[in-house]
């Protein structure tokens, strides 16, 4: 049965977009999803949408960096149902799969596409052939129900046939309910975090962030084992996180796991990881400054870090005082401010792997050798002289 509260929220938001953009509801829904899930601007959305006659099942297409710093070509198939008890069917999925096979990975002619899709197809085919795009992600988004398991198996088979070039994601009513529910509806009542008090730190066990517009914050050092226990006992703590955990198979998560599994590198974890951002209604530092009680907490950034820590903890490879992580705790009761914090915390520009490689020893040695010959080796984009 459909989630009436969510469907009413979506209907209101889609109707508002339709009025502002003078478009029909299917386009309004696509615009809403591109804005909320991917953080695209209105200009980027206008450029991305290809929905219409002769769209080959591709409703939008755009390029964006993922969390690994890879350029991903996102191909969107969207279905907005007036009756949300429906789900995306086999014909819609087959249409999108064929479009990728024939017009993105293949060399089928583009004469029978609409003009906008034809232009986008030609641009991205050239970028794929030049190696400027690192992968393709086929995204299905609907306000309807879960896709039938047989169709999931078909998508898995298609993905496996592409030798890692193509992945897919599916957003249904269940996923959207987490994204569009009020922040307060998703939160856990209360947790207590133990603050690590270093020898000689006195009373200063956390850094106080400035109070600005009904927002206050602290930064504290937390034992990864304590964070793992919090995550284990409160699985809904990620409900306000825009993207879900991607498993240890994700490249970044593999590095987190590798660091934590080694006792020596685990000591460096606090310097190697960006930490966790935790949003809440309120927090109280308990007497002695050794713990903080947090009301209605949600991890809005650092889902991959916290979840990978939990996986390694469950393997029995983590011990108390072996590794630590920084946790930024932000409190506000203003729902609009909370939503802005959630979105801004998850729309950062990623650093590409090729940019990271520019800092390794071989590249630095090459730079020095070129300088002796009177040449400058540019290792990164936008080097300013």
What's the CATH number where 18 sits? 3.40.91
The domain total for the chain is 2
Q: Which residue has the tokens 């034809």?
A: 118
Same domain for 268 and 149: no
Same domain for 270 and 218: yes
Same domain for 188 and 278: yes
DSSP string for residues in 212-251: ETTEEEEEEEEEHHHHHHHHHH-GGGGTT-SS----TTSH
Same domain for 243 and 273: yes
Q: What average pLDDT does the segment 86-95 reach?
A: 92
First to last CA, the chain: 61
Same domain for 245 and 170: no
Q: Which of 77-81, 113-117, 173-177, 333-337 has the highest mean pLDDT?
A: 77-81
CA distance 103 to 248: 32
Same domain for 151 and 249: no
* Proportion of the chain above pLDDT 90, given as a percent: 41
224 within some domain: yes
Same domain for 141 and 220: no
Q: Does residue 282 contact residue 191 with C-beta atoms inside 8 Å?
A: no
Is the pTM higher than 0.85?
no
233 within some domain: yes
Same domain for 173 and 207: no
Tell me the pLDDT tens digit for each residue of 200-256.
555 557 888 988 888 999 999 999 999 999 988 887 787 666 555 444 445 567 888
CA-to-CA separations, 72 to 62, 67, 216, 377, in angstroms, rounded: 8, 10, 36, 28
Same domain for 244 and 153: no
Its domain, for residue 257, covers: 183-344
Q: What per-residue confidence (pLDDT) applies to 243? A: 54
Q: Which two tokens stand for residue 34?
A: 């591109």
Same domain for 94 and 191: no
Looking at 180, 208, 234, the residue that finishes a domain is 180
Q: What average pLDDT does the segment 337-349 reach?
A: 71
Same domain for 42 and 166: yes
371 within some domain: no
Q: Which two tokens stand for residue 344?
A: 């801004």
Looking at 143, 158, 180, the residue that finishes a domain is 180
Helices (H), the chain: 4-21, 25-38, 42-48, 90-99, 115-129, 149-161, 173-180, 183-186, 224-233, 251-261, 263-266, 269-272, 303-314, 335-344, 353-357, 361-372
Same domain for 113 and 44: yes
Tell me the pLDDT tens digit for each residue of 104-142.
887 776 677 888 888 888 888 888 888 899 999 999 999
Q: What per-residue confidence (pLDDT) applies to 249? A: 45
């Amino acid at each position: 049965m459909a989630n009436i509260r969510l469907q009413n929220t979506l209907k209101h938001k889609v109707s508002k977009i339709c009025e502002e953009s003078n478009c029909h509801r299917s386009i309004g829904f696509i615009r809403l999803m591109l804005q909320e899930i991917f953080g695209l601007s209105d200009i980027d959305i206008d450029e991305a949408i290809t929905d219409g006659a002769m769209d080959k099942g591709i409703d939008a297409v755009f390029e964006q960096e993922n969390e690994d710093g890879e350029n991903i070509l996102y191909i969107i198939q969207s279905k907005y149902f007036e009756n949300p008890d429906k789900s995306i069917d086999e014909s819609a999925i087959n249409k999108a799969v064929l479009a990728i096979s024939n017009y993105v990975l293949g060399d089928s002619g583009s004469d029978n596409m609409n003009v906008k899709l034809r232009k986008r197809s030609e641009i991205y085919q050239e970028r794929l052939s030049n190696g400027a795009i690192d992968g393709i992600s086929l995204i299905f988004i609907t306000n309807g129900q879960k896709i039938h398991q047989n169709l999931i198996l078909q998508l898995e088979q298609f993905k496996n046939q592409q030798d890692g070039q193509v992945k897919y994601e599916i957003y249904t009513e269940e996923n959207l309910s987490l994204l569009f529910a009020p922040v307060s509806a998703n939160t856990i009542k209360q947790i207590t975090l133990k603050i690590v008090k270093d020898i000689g730190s006195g009373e200063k066990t956390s850094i106080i962030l400035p109070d600005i517009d009904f927002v206050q914050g602290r930064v504290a050092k937390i034992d990864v084992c304590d964070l793992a226990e919090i995550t284990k006992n409160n699985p809904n703590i990620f409900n306000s996180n825009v993207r879900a955990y991607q498993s240890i198979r994700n490249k970044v998560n593999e590095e987190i796991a590798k660091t934590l599994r080694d006792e020596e590198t685990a000591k460096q974890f606090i310097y190697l990881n960006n930490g966790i951002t935790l949003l809440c209604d309120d927090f109280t530092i308990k007497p002695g400054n050794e713990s903080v009680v947090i009301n209605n907490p949600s991890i809005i950034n650092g889902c991959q870090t916290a979840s990978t820590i939990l996986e390694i903890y469950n393997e029995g490879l983590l011990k108390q005082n072996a590794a630590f992580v920084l946790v930024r705790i932000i409190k506000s009761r203003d729902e609009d401010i909370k939503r802005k914090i959630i979105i801004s915390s998850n729309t950062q520009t990623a650093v590409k792997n090729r940019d990271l490689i520019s800092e390794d020893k071989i590249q630095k040695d090459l730079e020095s050798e070129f300088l002796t010959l009177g040449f400058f080796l540019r290792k990164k984009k936008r080097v300013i002289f």
